[in-house]
Amino acid sequence: MKMDLKHIVAAIRHCGRVKALKQGKSFHSHLIKTGYSHNIYIACNLVSMYVDFTFLIDAYKLFDEMPVEKHRHLDHYGFCVYQKRKASRSNRTIYSDEGLVEEAVSLFDQMPDRNVVSWNTVIAGFAENGSSRALQFVCKMHREGIKLDKFTFPCALKTCSYAGFLVAGKQIHCYVLKSGLECSCFAVSALVDMYSNCNGLDDAIRLFDHYSGGTGSICDSIVLWNSMLSGALKVCINLLNVRLGTQVHALIVISGHELDYVVGSILVDLYAKLGNMKDAFELFHRLPKKDIVAWSGLLMGCTKMELNSLALSLFRDMVTSGAEVDQYMVSNVLKVCSSLASIGTGKQVHAFCIKRGYETEQVTITALIDMYSKCGEVEDGLVLFGCVADRDVVCWTGIIVGCAQNGRAMEALEIFRQMVQSGLKPNEVTYLGILDLVSTIAENLLANFPNDSSIYVMLSNAYGTLGMWDSLSQVREAAKKLGVKAAGTSWIEISS
């Protein structure tokens, strides 16, 4: 008996939605036997079903078995790439989001034909990661004659919001007007959000007033109101203006949006950043839905106010509730562990990082090195530092200061020398740590070993690396009196 494609897809989606594991697997087996599993529509929906089951290994296996190179139905192809990215976000240990988008780009480049859906899929991937490459692909899409649609514009504007690209945002605004999509609720909301985030609040207000006082869907859109109110709150956060924030909050209460999870979460973040943790917690507990903005706002507020035990308790509640946790929140929790010198909790957070796939993130590694160093486990910090391939100045500084604080002066100086040789410019914190270290070393070493020539050579090298020319001259003068040749550079001529 021939089955209808529409009914098959509906059945697969129902199994995924209600988490009917047994029935879903049984139905999949039946589709394999009857040959329907090779249909591109059905295969994509099967991938989605296994993602809904959180059977991500099965989802990936099924995806990889699909004959991607033969897919000519690009709408479905784009959907499959989206499902694979969706699976990645459900389990960060499989791939990082950024790496997965690169994989999607590689597949995208291999496609013989590309339509608006496949373009939007890649652009959305970059936009979700806050990458400015989303705008590069928007430009390429336009140059290749593919018309930007109501899904392209919000992604492009979201990228401008993240990066503060006001000029690019205005250019996209012109394109929205030319395309006749200025009445699209999502395009207008994205424009309001972009102007607000790029310090163009006057333009955001003008847009809001124009479209909210008109007709129908735009006027009644919760999305547009959220964008405007969120934009006003973000201005208050940037200015740390208590009076203005209170006034905007009053307006939000009057408009009935206080407990909307988007606006409410930003309110929580505002009060936390202002140091008003009492009001922040009260509003947080009243929110029917708590997103990452609300949780992270509270967590960072507790950290800022040095409510360390409360911050750790909040993080445990967050993990237990199944809320989304990103690498920046983890780094804040590790700072709390550093402040408390709580190595046990720090190691638990490290295990959490490994489980979630954050152990390779630069911000997390730096926080872990700092935590181990401040908890007296600098050896573990050195091991982590040795595993980092692409080290930034913060990472170098963290291990240098860590070694210095744990009595590993020679290692700190050696690592500093390596940092300078790598071509990376030390920052103020690096110099302060090294200056303090060298001053202490110099006093102790010269007091205990006044006649040891190697001490003078070592101090000469340290002062030379730091550019401390006065101190270098003093050491060389002392070395001359002792009859030691301090480190220096000479030219010699070699006859051929």
Give the tens place of pLDDT for each residue, 328-386: 899 999 999 999 989 999 999 999 988 888 887 888 999 999 999 999 999 999 999 98
Q: Distance between CA 493 and CA 100 in Å, rounded?
A: 57
pLDDT reported for residue 369 = 93
Largest CA distance in the chain: 103
The conformation of residue 37, written as its DSSP 8-state character, comes to: G
Query: Is the full-model pTM beyond 0.75?
Result: no
Rounded (10°) CA dihedral 219, 221, 223, 227: 20
Mean of all residue pLDDT scores within the chain = 80
Domain boundary (220, 240, 266) is at 220
Residue 463, in any domain of the structure: yes
Model confidence at 164, pLDDT cuts 50, 70, 90, reads confident
Average pLDDT value for residue range 280-290: 92
Structure tokens at 484: 């030691």
Residue 52's pLDDT is 75
Residue 412 domain-assigned? yes
**Is residue 210 over pLDDT 70?**
yes
Range of the domain at 480: 392-487
Q: In this structure, is residue 234 part of a structural domain?
A: no
Domain boundary among 162, 193, 220: 220
What pLDDT does 493 receive? 41
Among 56, 57, 62, residue whose Cα is nearest residue 42 = 62
**Six-digit token string for 492:** 């010699």
Supply 154's token pair. Answer: 């919000």
Q: Is residue 213 part of a domain?
A: yes
User: Under 8 Å CB-to-CB from 104, ≥6 apart: which residues?
Assistant: 81, 84, 85, 121, 122, 125
CA distances from 324 to 130, 140, 285, 362 (A): 17, 33, 17, 19
Listed in sequence order, the residues at least 6 apart from 228 whose beta carbon sits closer than 8 Å to its beta carbon are: 192, 196, 204, 205, 208, 212
Q: How far apart are CA 92 and CA 96, in angstroms?
A: 6
Q: Provide the number of structural domains found in the chain.
A: 2
On whether residue 239 sits in a domain, the answer given is no
Q: Does residue 297 register a pLDDT over 50?
A: yes
Q: Report the range of poorest mean pLDDT among 63-72, 75-84, 104-113, 278-287.
A: 75-84
Q: Quick check: is 33 in a domain?
A: no
Which of 202, 220, 238 corresponds to the end of one domain? Answer: 220
Q: Which residue has the higher pLDDT, 427 or 309?
A: 309
What Å distances lie between residue 381 and 412, 424, 437, CA to CA?
Answer: 12, 20, 19
Mean pLDDT, residues 287-298 = 91
The residue-averaged pLDDT of 119-139 equals 86
Mean of the pLDDT values across residues 190-196? 89
Q: What pLDDT digit, counting tens, does each position of 387-419 carry?
A: 888 888 999 999 999 998 898 888 888 888 888
Q: Which two tokens stand for residue 15?
A: 């199994």
Query: Which CATH number covers residue 437?
Result: 1.25.40
Query: Does 85 fall in a domain?
Result: no
Tally of residues, the chain: 496
pLDDT at 279: 93
Tokens 């401040």, residue located:
374
In this predicted structure, the answer to whether residue 69 has a pLDDT above a threshold of 60 is no
At 284, is the pLDDT very low, low, confident or very high (cuts 50, 70, 90)? Answer: very high
Q: What's residue 301's pLDDT?
A: 94
pLDDT of residue 350: 94
> Is 414 among the domain residues?
yes
- Of 46, 71, 134, give the one whose Cα is nearest residue 98: 134
Rounded to the nearest 5 degrees, what angle is found at the Cα of 55, between the Cα atoms of 293 and 96?
A: 50
Q: What is the mean pLDDT of residues 271-300?
A: 92
pLDDT for the residue 95: 34
